[in-house]
Amino acid sequence: MTDNTKENTFKNNSSADKNPCIRKNIKPGISVQIVLKKDQISGKLTSGVVKEILTNSASHPHGIKVRLLDGNVGRVKKIEQTIS
């Protein structure tokens, strides 16, 4: 199994509400991991809690852009915890 196949399998098995590219899945108060602009090349992730959603469109192929409570801005790559 190649790495690409593993990624596709993971995507197919993950729940739709965890897709970080769909705006309706991102809400203020949830824990996420984002990639900051300066870290796009390395792919380094920064964890935090969403303060504000900055992307206006319903989806974005690189992830929804958010501002975290600490002021960092980046695109969501992983949703860690949703609000119950």
pLDDT the model gives residue 15: 55
Question: Would you state the pLDDT for residue 82?
Answer: 66
Supply the CATH number for residue 42's domain.
Answer: 2.30.30
What's the pLDDT at 5? 41
Closest of 48, 41, 42, 38 to residue 76, by C-alpha: 48
Q: How many domains does the chain have?
A: 1
pLDDT along the chain (84 residues), means of 10: 41 65 97 97 97 98 98 97 68
Q: What is the pLDDT of residue 9?
A: 35
Which residue range(s) make up the domain with 13?
3-81
Indicate the DSSP class of residue 22. B
